[in-house]
């Protein structure tokens, strides 16, 4: 398949700039092969059944967009992956104005440029350890919103709340696992009352996850992201399958780490902790989940390929056409869809 096969025209007014309030009032498109049903996210407990298991991503977004100076030149740094205790990979802007060995000064800390890479990426070393750095960044950094979300200075503080899921507790992501943004305490309580269990994995979402593919699909290399699947989650999934329940992945990040943790040689899900660069595209055989709840994704992105693999290329293409026609809101702060696996 070609990259152009995953392209589509999206009216700019359908790119959500702010979340719906309350969160669980967002629209939900139920996709069952080539059949579509308009619902609301607060209907989720009614769309599932007793003994189903929901798996969410509990990563927490770091306020990783930093503004500093090299001498008198203003520099913007967006952290995207920790290398070591003091070293991070980041994107710099303007990239041409900095060189290896330069020191960038922020409000209460400094960073030295160790290496310049391609496409504005740099490797930097901070003057404090990671725990202290996270504390300082949390005070002065801004949330790393995608470029299609426009903000005034007054609105930016709201994203510190809006761009986090209510179950975010493990800091390390530089982009939100956006399918989880629809959840409220009310929905979680209703799910528990219906005997639908929830549990959590961690995948620290990196900046590369949502980017369009620029080269050929077959040669595309995903950015590695750190994730973890606990033994508790593995045992819950096995128990769910044995009882006839279904496993529902909240978001593509959850799906990707669960598939990474599946040992194909042993045909079994195993606990996992480490980096993953799994790239899922049409033709992939899924091993763990039965349903996927996810937002509507960018054209020509790896996430479009993933949902096309899970729901069927033609079905997803029709679903996106339906969503556009019926004014569903797209991308990070947009509406969502619940996709049943092709073999469901």
Whole-prediction pTM value?
Answer: 0.93
Beta strands in the chain (DSSP E): 27-32, 35-40, 53-57, 59-61, 65-70, 73-82, 87-93, 103-105, 110-116, 121-126, 170-173, 197-203, 225-229, 247-250, 262-263, 268-269, 272-276, 291-295, 336-340
Task: Give the tens place of pLDDT for each residue, 155-193.
Answer: 667 899 999 999 999 999 999 999 999 999 999 999 999
| CA-closest candidate to residue 181, choices 18, 36, 10 | 18
Lowest average pLDDT, out of 73-87, 132-146, 210-224, 281-295, goes to 210-224
Topology, domain 3-61+162-340? QueA-like (3.40.1780)
For residue 293, the model assigns a pLDDT of 98
pLDDT of 48 strictly over 60: yes
The residue ranges of every structural domain in the chain are: 3-61+162-340, 65-141
> Which of the listed CATH numbers 2.60.40.10, 3.90.730.10, 1.10.10.10, 2.40.10.240 matches domain 65-141?
2.40.10.240
Task: Give the tens place of pLDDT for each residue, 7-43.
Answer: 999 999 999 999 999 999 999 999 999 999 999 999 9
φ, ψ at 69 (rounded to 5°): -135, 140
Query: Which of the four pLDDT bands, split at 50, 70 and 90, describes residue 209?
Result: low
Task: Give the tens place of pLDDT for each residue, 226-265.
Answer: 999 999 999 999 999 999 999 999 999 999 999 999 999 9
Q: Choose between 121 and 291: higher pLDDT.
A: 291
218 Cβ partners below 8 Å, 6+ apart?
none
φ, ψ at 253 (rounded to 5°): -65, -40
Query: Which of the four pLDDT bands, split at 50, 70 and 90, describes residue 210?
Result: low
Q: How remote is the C-alpha of 130 from its chain's centroid?
A: 23
46 Cβ partners below 8 Å, 6+ apart?
none
φ, ψ at 195 (rounded to 5°): 60, 40
């Amino acid at each position: 398949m070609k990259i152009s096969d995953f392209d589509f025209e999206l009216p700019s007014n359908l790119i959500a700039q702010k979340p719906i309030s309350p969160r669980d009032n967002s629209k939900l498109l139920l996709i069952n092969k080539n059949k579509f049903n308009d619902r609301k996210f607060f209907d989720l407990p009614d769309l599932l059944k007793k003994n189903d298991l929901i798996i969410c991503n509990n990563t927490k977004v770091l306020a990783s967009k930093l503004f500093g100076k090299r001498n008198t030149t203003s520099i913007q740094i967006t952290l995207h992956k920790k290398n070591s205790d003091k070293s991070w990979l980041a994107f710099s802007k303007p990239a041409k104005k900095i060189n290896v060995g330069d020191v960038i000064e922020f409000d209460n800390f400094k960073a030295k440029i160790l290496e310049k890479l391609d496409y504005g990426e740099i490797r930097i070393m901070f003057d404090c350890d990671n725990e202290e750095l996270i504390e300082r960044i949390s005070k002065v950094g801004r949330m790393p919103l995608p470029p299609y979300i426009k903000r005034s200075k007054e609105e930016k503080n709201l994203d510190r709340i809006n761009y986090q899921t209510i179950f975010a507790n493990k800091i390390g992501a530089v982009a939100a696992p956006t399918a989880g943004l629809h959840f409220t305490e009310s929905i979680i309580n209703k799910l528990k009352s219906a005997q639908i269990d929830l549990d959590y994995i961690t995948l620290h979402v990196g900046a590369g996850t949502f980017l369009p593919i620029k080269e050929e699909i077959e040669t595309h290399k995903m950015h590695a992201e750190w994730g973890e699947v606990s033994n508790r989650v593995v045992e819950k999934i096995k128990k769910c399958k044995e009882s006839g329940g279904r496993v529902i992945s909240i978001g593509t990040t959850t799906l990707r780490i669960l598939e990474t943790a599946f040992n194909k040689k042993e045909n079994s899900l195993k606990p996992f902790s480490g980096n993953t660069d799994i790239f899922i595209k049409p033709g992939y055989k899924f091993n763990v989940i039965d349903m996927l709840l996810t937002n509507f994704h960018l054209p020509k992105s790896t996430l479009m390929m993933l949902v096309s693999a899970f729901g069927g290329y033609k079905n997803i293409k029709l679903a996106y056409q339906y969503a556009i026609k019926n004014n569903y809101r797209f991308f990070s702060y947009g509406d969502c869809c619940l996709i049943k696996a092709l073999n469901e």
